[in-house]
Structure 1
Amino acid sequence: MTTLYLFGSAAPPVSDAARVVGDAQARGWEVCLGLTSTAARWLEPQLQELEALTGHPVRSEYKLPGEPDVWPTADAILVAPATFNTVNHWALGLTSSFIVGVVAEAIGKHVPTVTMPCVNAAYVQHPQFKQSVKTLRSAGVTVLYGPGGFEPNQPGERRLESFPWDMALDSVGSIVSPAS
């Protein structure tokens, strides 16, 4: 089976993790779920259910040196929702969090990676965000942002139901077929 690492940051669409895991599995992916520490705290009541659903531990922290990896190797990675913080840390190579460390290394390992930011219109005015999107794209990451991708919402506007999860899963599937 082809393995997808699904990584989520602490933005409202992360609350759809169980549904998205199920959708990815229905498409033929074996899914390993990783979360930022804040997203893991948000989903704490669901973590056991998510582990049962994926058949793997939900990870939000680095393993200790010498410990075996509990996940199979990724064939593809989807980082969604990716917050302002996650996108900027990743582009700058600041790997203090587990998921940012994995995706930063994935660039060098040439693991096909897709990200869909979930940021509001105020955050995207910061000049670093546009530079970070440009940096990730130039490194080979498919960034689903702007026309044809995620369109920023207004601060405080929660558009959970309109986060384009299908677009994100379709994009990963167009790069790496789960049946391959």
Structure 2
Amino acid sequence: MSSRTLYLFGSAAPPVFDIAKVIESAQAEGWDVCLGLTPTAARWLDESLDGLAALTGHPVRSEYKLPGEADAWPKADVIMFAPVTFNSLNSWAVGLTANFVVGVVAEGIGKGIPTVAMPCVNAAYAQHRALGRSITELREQGVTVLYGEGGFTPNPAGSGKPKAYPWDAALAAARELAERA
């Protein structure tokens, strides 16, 4: 799998604090990793951004580039959006691309870039009908959404278990998508 590029995107959910370990795991599998974060996730990780850029060898991005500005990243072979929050997932499903990572994954559908998403929502959000509709919409457009058995299962509100987030399942799905491409 050497020289394949993984765009690793994360929203502001507690598992994002483990993103360096995920980058290292992906690199151990031969991925060239480019890290993108929602603006809030970038704020959460502000003190780590330089180290994360050094780890990946690419700038960490949370904003769109300026028109005419060269792209600092190679083209993606696979996109992995994890953790993806309720807000980011729903925005993506309806095409609201106000932030960089949601814009890239929305455009990625049209470009045919294999994409895996793994939500991170609590059980209260999971009761909202928009979540199910958004997951269905994204799956119908070819996105692999790891939600439920074999992926992420919601915890009761306020009882987050970020260390139990199934990162291995997301990386395995990204690897499988790359092998099929």
**Common fold, TM-score beyond 0.5?**
yes
Matched AA of 1:82 = V
Q: How many residues align?
A: 179
Shift of 1:114: 0.1
- On the 8 A contact 2:6/2:34 being kept in 1, the answer is yes
SS at match of 1:79: strand
Equivalent residue for 2:41? 39
- On the 8 A contact 2:84/2:117 being kept in 1, the answer is yes
For residues 41-80 of structure 1, give each alpha carbon's deviation from its aligned partner in whole angstroms, at most 9, with x where no partner exists. Answer: 0001100100000000000000011100000000000000
Q: What stretches of structure 1 of length at least 5 have no aligned partner? A: none
Equivalent residue for 1:160? 162
Among candidates 101, 110, 113, match of residue 111 of structure 1: 113
- TM-score (structure 2 length as normaliser): 0.97
SS at match of 1:19: helix
- Partners of 2:28 and 2:144 in 1: how far apart? 22
Task: Identify the structure with bigger relative contact order (alpha carbons < 8 Å, sequence gap 6+).
Answer: 1
SS at match of 1:122: helix
Equivalent residue for 2:63? 61
Equivalent residue for 2:101? 99
Equivalent residue for 2:174? 172
- Partners of 1:20 and 1:104 in 2: how far apart? 23
Matched AA of 2:7 = Y
Once the two structures are aligned, what percentage of the paired residues are identical?
A: 62
SS at match of 2:123: coil
Equivalent residue for 1:51? 53
- TM-score (structure 1 length as normaliser): 0.98
Matched AA of 1:47 = L
- Partners of 1:130 and 1:96 in 2: how far apart? 22
